[in-house]
Amino acid sequence: MSAVLDASGLGKRYRQRWALRDCTLQVPAARVVGLVGPNGAGKTTLLQLAVGLLEPSAGQIAVLGGRPAENPEQLGRVGFVAQDTPVYSGLSVGEHLELGSWLNARFDVATADRRIDQLGLDRKQRAGKLSGGQRAQLALTLALAKRPELLVLDEPVASLDPLARHEFLQHLMESVAEHSVSVVLSSHLVADVERVCDYVIVLAGSRVQVAGDVEELLASHHRLTGPRRDVTQLPSDQEVIEASHTDRQTTLLVQTSGPILDPAWTVEQIGLEDLVLAYMRRAGDAGRTTQTKHLGSVK
Amino acid sequence: MIEFHLSASSGVSPYQQLVQQVRRALVLGLLSAGDQLPTVKDVVAQLAINPNTVLKAYRELEHSGLVAARAGVGTFVTSTLSDSSRAAHGPLREELEGWFGKARRAGLDDESIEALFQDTFRNLDAQGVA
Amino acid sequence: MIRLSWRQFQAQAAVACGLLLAVAILFVATHGHLDHLYAVYAQANAKCNASSSCPGVSINLGKLDQLLELIGTALVVVPALVGVFWGAPLIAREFENGTHRLAWTQSVTRTRWLATKLAVVGLASIVATGLLSLLVTWWSQPIDRARQDRFGSGLFGMRNVTPLGYAAFGFVLGVIAGLLIRRTLPAMATTIVAFLAVRLTFTYVVRPNIFSPHHKSLPLDPTNIGFGSSNGGPPSLMPNTPNLPNAWIYSEHIVDSAGHGLTSATVAASCPSLPFPGSGPAGSGGRVAGPVPGGIQDALESCVTKLSATYHEVVTYQPANRYWTLQWGETLVYFVAALAIAGFCFWWIRHRAR
């Protein structure tokens, strides 16, 4: 399977500031990809580049093998829900479904209708009067009904209450199971990402810090605790992501594909949240050159 | 049909929890041969988790010989735990109750009992015994 | 995309239809009566001109007719309104609400999206303004026939085809303001200012100079000259409007054979018996608009006769037969400008709005 998203050296600049820089990714298909990072790290920029709302300032990006928003066919293969789920507040829920069928060659009105009923939305109600959760569900229904191969969601649940968030993710996962659509969603809630994503990209400081299958990332990152020592003494295939020392003890987060043989270390598994935080902290150190890590080949 | 639930704080990965819950259901007789497991779609629609997680759990159960997937239909229980092992439940339960009594009388509180049990179980597991 | 553009435009279309309908009903209902009124006026005018004791006939329109006439003048505002309320929000509102991110990720390209919105609402603007112009021009026929002033700066933009050009231009101006500024209210304000600037410049700087005006020399007519001052200057002889029906009169001056204008001092020297300020009984302050007091009338006529030996009247004007050329020409210019701006909008949305 080819990559759903293939970026090389991708960058976007607004006047003087680079919102995204040196972004190189090959995201495999049939995944639910989580894009995590602090606010302002470039998540929205990357996603908007992927759907053609922005043009790159540097590098290139290919989505499903084509240039984003190149033509109606390409547009039809990618679904998008922007941050804050914009809807036409003057149009009703039903009219939004009509909008979908007018503006898309392939639009599954029947399924969308069923879903609207399931969600308990009133077709006649103006979209401007919907709650945040209802609006998000409407936007998701619209995006899924065009039967895209890739669905891109920009912080879809950021401003939703816990119940609305759970219901949104339920809807999303059910659709993924039913239609095997690839998903890329951005979030600053790692707990959600942990739940639904099987591939994660950490974006911090406008750069990709790490990207890979969640399973492989968790298998290759370990927390080592042991007596205080100098980190430059470690074997070369162990890369230190984060190190902290007390006067007696050293704690490291290392990435390695090989076994850890030194008996002085206590080796622990690490959770996704801790892994993400470590990479985000590493990026936060100003003035350090960061390396991009890619785990998991394109399958 | 059984229903799954996930505990975020149990320290056990989601797919493991699903596997455990199926096994538990088999042990307790909630599932018998021929019963269908919930479809992947229904599980993710309820739990809001990645479908691959469910697929992985079902694959492992299939690997253990407990379930079998029928293309286009669903995943079905093929065998329950053998009757002999079912028969062993009664005496084993009695022995366990005795052991718990002893631990209590030795002054262990709930947490210590659980820690002791888990630690022993894991060590045995690592040695390939349990 | 056509259906969506139309659906988004529905509320505004309804308002426009309602207003047009109301105006149409009012105009149709009163047209017959207005026609009759002016027919009577024409008869009375003819009689008055034939008689020597009749200074003039004037017509007073009733309150309703005055109101309707006012609506007719509102036609000059309509293209600006179209630009501000239909053009500026067209794209700006989408940017403001972020809905362009919804629209541009369906399966239509932005070019098609913009083209359809422009076409649907642009066409509606032109048609609505055209209908209004049709109604106003038709209803005002009796008035225009009587006043014969449709070529003047005021009425030229409120009759026939020019409003269509203005509407197209105003609309597209609003669209590009919204496209570049991305906020509805600032775009609306910018549209008004820009539209006014263009309209005023074209009306007062360009249009008078498209064709060179004609000049006509007339002898001074003692019965057709008044005495007074305009703009608060020193009093002098004031020529009345010459009889050039439906021409566009730029100006009328009294000059001598060398082209020098008639000054107040010259009049004072030649005709001391006229009421200059500080000499004899007070005269009227502004233009003589009514019958001149008996004694003054004779003094005035003899003054004019005296001065007509050396002075004559020169009228600068566009002849009436240039009216339609300028109407179609100006409409075409505004349409072409609108197309050019629309073209720029397409370029911008394709290459720069990212």
Average the pLDDT over each of A16-30, B95-109, C274-288 and give the range with the smallest value. C274-288
Judge contact between C190 and C265, C-beta under 8 A: no
Of B41, B45, B48, the CB nearest to A196: B48
| Dihedral-angle region of residue A195 (phi above 0 means left; psi in -120 to 50 means alpha; beta otherwise) | alpha
Average pLDDT, integer, range C166-187: 96
CB spacing of A173 vs B49 below 8 angstroms? yes
List the end-to-end C-alpha distance of chain C, in Å, as a whole number. 22
Res. A1 pLDDT band, cuts 50 70 90: low
> What are phi and psi for residue B41, nearest 5 degrees?
-60, -45
What pLDDT sits at residue B130?
A: 47
Residues of A near C (Cβ–Cβ under 8 Å) read 48, 51-55, 69, 71-73, 75-76, 78-80, 82, 84, 86-91, 95, 98-100, 102-106, 139, 142, 146
Contacts of A127 in chain C (CB under 8 A): none
- What's the angle, vertex CA C17, arms to CA C12 and CA C22, rounded to 5? 130
Contacts of A51 in chain C (CB under 8 A): 105
What residue of A is the nearest CA neighbor of B54? A177
CA distance A135 to A92: 11
Short-list A165, A164, A186, A173, CA closest to A144: A173
Is the pLDDT at C180 greater than 90, yes or no? yes
Is the pLDDT at A289 greater than 60, yes or no? no
Of C105, C106, C354, the CB nearest to A54: C354
Of B8, B46, B52, the CB nearest to A170: B46
Would you state the structure tokens that stand for residue A232, as one six-digit string? 């430059």
Mark A95-113 as b/e (b = at least 16 C-beta within 10 Å): bbbbbbbbbbeebbeebbe
Beta bridge partners, A202, equal A36, A210
> What are phi and psi for residue C292, nearest 5 degrees?
-80, 140
Run of H or E residues at A244: strand A239-245
What pLDDT sits at residue A238?
A: 82
Amino acid identity for residue A47 in this structure: L
Is the pLDDT at C118 greater than 70, yes or no? yes
Judge contact between A134 and A119, C-beta under 8 A: yes
Res. A232 pLDDT band, cuts 50 70 90: confident
Higher pLDDT, C333 or B129: C333
What pLDDT sits at residue C287?
A: 45
CB spacing of B50 vs A178 below 8 angstroms? no
Run of H or E residues at A260: none
Average the pLDDT over each of A234-248, C130-144, C255-269 and give the range with the smallest value. C255-269
Identify each DSSP E strand in A150-217 by its residue range: 150-154, 182-187, 199-204, 207-213
Would you state the structure tokens that stand for residue B93, as one six-digit string? 């339960």
* Contacts of residue A80, Cβ cutoff 8 Å, sequence gap at least 6: A47, A51, A53, A143, A151, A152, A153, A154, C101, C105
Do β-strands A78-81 and A150-154 pair in parallel, antiparallel, or remain unpaired?
Answer: parallel
Higher pLDDT, C259 or A11: A11
Query: Tens digits of per-residue pLDDT, B1-41?
Result: 889 998 877 778 888 899 999 988 888 888 888 889 999 99
CA A6 and chain centroid, separation: 14
What pLDDT sits at residue C352?
A: 77
Res. A287 pLDDT band, cuts 50 70 90: very low
Would you state the structure tokens that stand for residue C32, as one six-digit string? 């017959």
CA distance C246 to C244: 6
Res. C286 pLDDT band, cuts 50 70 90: very low
Res. A228 pLDDT band, cuts 50 70 90: confident
Average the pLDDT over each of A50-54, B57-61, C70-74, C139-143 and give the range with the smallest value. C70-74
Of B8, B40, B48, the CB nearest to A169: B48
What residue of A is the nearest CA neighbor of B11? A271
**Mutation for testing the A interface, residue in B10, B40, B44, B47 having most A CBs under 10 Å:** B44
Query: Tens digits of per-residue pLDDT, C54-94?
Result: 777 777 878 878 888 888 888 889 999 999 999 999 999 99
Higher pLDDT, C165 or C308: C165
Higher pLDDT, C41 or C196: C196
Is the pLDDT at A78 greater than 70, yes or no? yes
What residue of A is the nearest CA neighbor of C108? A72
Query: Tens digits of per-residue pLDDT, B111-128?
Result: 888 888 888 887 777 676
Q: Is C354 on the interface with A (CB under 8 A)?
A: yes
CA distance A32 to C302: 102
C-alpha dihedral (C90, C93, C95, C97), degrees to nearest 10: -150
Run of H or E residues at C253: strand C248-256
- Could you write out the DSSP letters of every residue in C47-85? HHHHSSS---------HHHHHHHHHHHHTTTHHHHIIII
Of A170, A178, A198, the CB nearest to B50: A198
What pLDDT sits at residue A293?
A: 53
Of C11, C97, C107, the CB nearest to A86: C97
Query: Tens digits of per-residue pLDDT, B53-112?
Result: 999 999 999 888 888 888 888 888 887 665 556 667 778 888 888 998 999 998 888 888
Short-list A299, A290, A297, CA closest to A210: A290
CB spacing of C7 vs A91 below 8 angstroms? yes
Is the pLDDT at C294 greater than 80, yes or no? no
Would you state the structure tokens that stand for residue C164, as one six-digit string? 């269509």
CB spacing of C109 vs A72 below 8 angstroms? yes
Average the pLDDT over each of A96-110, A184-198, B67-81 and give the range with the smallest value. B67-81
Amino acid identity for residue C4 in this structure: L
> What are phi and psi for residue C140, nearest 5 degrees?
-85, 0
Distance from CA of A169 to the nearest CA of C (A): 20
Judge contact between C15 and C36, C-beta under 8 A: no
What pLDDT sits at residue A208?
A: 92
Res. A151 pLDDT band, cuts 50 70 90: very high
Q: Could you give the percent of chain A with pLDDT greater than 90?
A: 61
Short-list A51, A63, A6, A61, CA closest to A152: A51
Higher pLDDT, C52 or C341: C341
Do β-strands B74-77 and B67-70 pair in parallel, antiparallel, or remain unpaired?
Answer: antiparallel
CA distance C168 to C82: 9
Segment 2-41 of chain C within 8 Å of chain A by CB: 3-4, 7-8, 11
Is the pLDDT at C252 greater than 90, yes or no? no
Of C1, C11, C104, the CB nearest to A53: C104
**A-B interface (Cβ pairs under 8 Å ≥ 3):** yes
Is the pLDDT at C17 greater than 60, yes or no? yes
Is the pLDDT at C280 greater than 80, yes or no? no
What pLDDT sits at residue B128?
A: 63
Mean predicted lDDT score pLDDT of chain C: 86
Judge contact between A81 and A140, C-beta under 8 A: yes
Higher pLDDT, C311 or A36: A36
Run of H or E residues at C25: helix C2-50
Beta bridge partners, C252, equal C315
**Mutation for testing the B interface, residue in A118, A166, A174 having most B CBs under 10 Å:** A174
CA distance C33 to C135: 16
Query: What's the order of all strands across the beta sheet hosting A249-255?
Result: A239-245, A249-255, A221-227, A266-269
CB spacing of B50 vs A173 below 8 angstroms? yes
Short-list A114, A19, A94, CA closest to A58: A19
CA distance B43 to C128: 58
Contacts of B14 in chain A (CB under 8 A): 195
In this prediction the pTM is 0.84
What pLDDT sits at residue C347?
A: 94
Query: Tens digits of per-residue pLDDT, A252-275?
Result: 888 888 887 788 888 888 889 899
What pLDDT sits at residue A286?
A: 46
What pLDDT sits at residue B15?
A: 87
What pLDDT sits at residue B72?
A: 83
CA distance C278 to B101: 132
Judge contact between A240 and A254, C-beta under 8 A: yes
Higher pLDDT, A294 or C145: C145
Question: Can you state the percent helix, strand and coil of chain C, rounding each to 5?
Answer: 65, 10, 25
- Could you write out the DSSP letters of every residue in B31-95? S-TTPBPPPHHHHHHHH---HHHHHHHHHHHHHTTSEEEETTTEEEE---S-HHHHHHHHHHHHH
Res. A241 pLDDT band, cuts 50 70 90: confident
CA distance B58 to B42: 14
Average pLDDT, integer, range A2-25: 91
CB spacing of B14 vs A32 below 8 angstroms? no
Give SS3 for A227. strand
CA B112 and chain centroid, separation: 23
CA distance A49 to C234: 73
CA distance A244 to A23: 29
Is the pLDDT at A46 greater than 70, yes or no? yes
What pLDDT sits at residue C123?
A: 95
Identify each DSSP E strand in chain B by its residue range: 67-70, 74-77
Residue located via tokens 């020597």: C52
Ranges A37-41, B91-95, C176-180, C254-258, most confident: C176-180
What pLDDT sits at residue A263?
A: 80
Beta bridge partners, C9, equal none
Q: Could you give the percent of chain C with pLDDT greater than 90?
A: 45
Res. C282 pLDDT band, cuts 50 70 90: very low
Short-list A94, A78, A62, CA closest to A143: A78
Average pLDDT, integer, range C95-101: 94
What pLDDT sits at residue A121?
A: 92
